[in-house]
Each structure stands twice: as structure tokens, then as C-alpha cells.
A = this chain, B = another copy of it.
Amino acid sequence: MGIDPGLTRCGVGVVEGRPGAPGTMIAVGVIRTDPKAPLADRLLALDDGLRAFLEDHQPEAVAVERVFSQHNVASVIGTAQASGIALLAGARLGLPTATYTPSEAKAAICGNGAADKQQVTTMITRILRLKEAPKPADAADALAIAVCHLWRGGMKARLAAAAGNGGPR
């Protein structure tokens, strides 16, 4: 399961597959919370949404986009809070978790760490052979993180398991 963390829109996507193969989309969605609601209520709504998605799709691992520190600080705080809730939701279920920077995800999907949002959407639509592009961009980004983990994390997980340290983070 890939998560593009956000407080107003949090992209979620589940992909099945293995490194070196395109993978199949199992589910995609966006969890929205009301920007006018109190912060604690928004965090609770996000946590409820993530738990329901995890419950429905039973992923084997959770990958979360790492908060990008070059955003403006106010938006970084909300995104960081959402990413904390997302990682906690995975860890609470005992699932292995991983984080990837936006550049790592773009490089994995587009072969270019500086690809723009449209390229990510185009490539993830092609890779997963979807009939239409996932919308909004947060949903496409969540699938990109999931595929990135499938391709990169699968390898890291096997190396980590061989090294006995419990997998990627």
C-alpha cells in the first residue's frame, strides 16, 4: 500500500506484484478531511480512513512518501502530521513500513527524479494498464509510491531479511 500523506487529501493505493513486473492495481482512493474542522478531528478522520482502507485491502507492507522539507513550513506541518498518522497506522498492524522521497518515487516510475506530476500520472497509468488516469494527483502519487516500494522495497526487504534486520523503513 502506498500513501501520499496529506491532511486535506491523502492519496492511498494498493498494488500487487513483484519486482521486475508491472504489477496490478487492487485499489485506489483519496481520504479527505474538512479543512474547517478542528485539527484533532481531522487527524481522527484520517486515521479512521486509513484503518478502514488497511482493513479492506490487507496489504503486506505500507510505503509512505517522505515529507519534503522544501515546502513552505506551514504546509509541511500538516503533511508531517498526516505522515506520522500513516506510518503509525501501518506499524500498529505490525506491517513493515518504508518511506521514499518524491524523487525516489519519480525515479522509480519515470526514470527521472525530476519528473513532473503529469508525467507520474501518465507513467503510473501505463505501468498499471489502467483504463483512465487516477485522479486527483494524490491518488496517482499513492500508486507511484506503492509501485516504487514493490520494485525497490521488495529488493531491499529481501536483502534486509537476509541480513536479519527486519526490512526496509
How many identical chains are in the complex?
Answer: 2
Cα A38 to Cα B69 in complex, Å, equals 19
Residues of A at the B interface (CB closer than 8 Å) are 38-41, 43-44, 47, 67, 69-70, 73-74, 76-78, 80-85, 87-88, 90-92, 97, 99, 169
Q: Count chain B CB atoms within 10 A of each CB in A67, A87, A88 and give the residue with the most.
A: A88
A95 (CB) vs chain B CBs: closest residue: B40
CB A64 to nearest CB in B, in angstroms, measures: 9
Kindly identify which residue among B74, B77, B88 contacts A85, using a CB–CB cutoff of 8 Å. Answer: B88
Kindly identify which residue among B41, B76, B91, B92 contacts A80, using a CB–CB cutoff of 8 Å. Answer: B76
Contacts of A90 in B (CB 8 A): 40
A72 (CB) vs chain B CBs: closest residue: B69
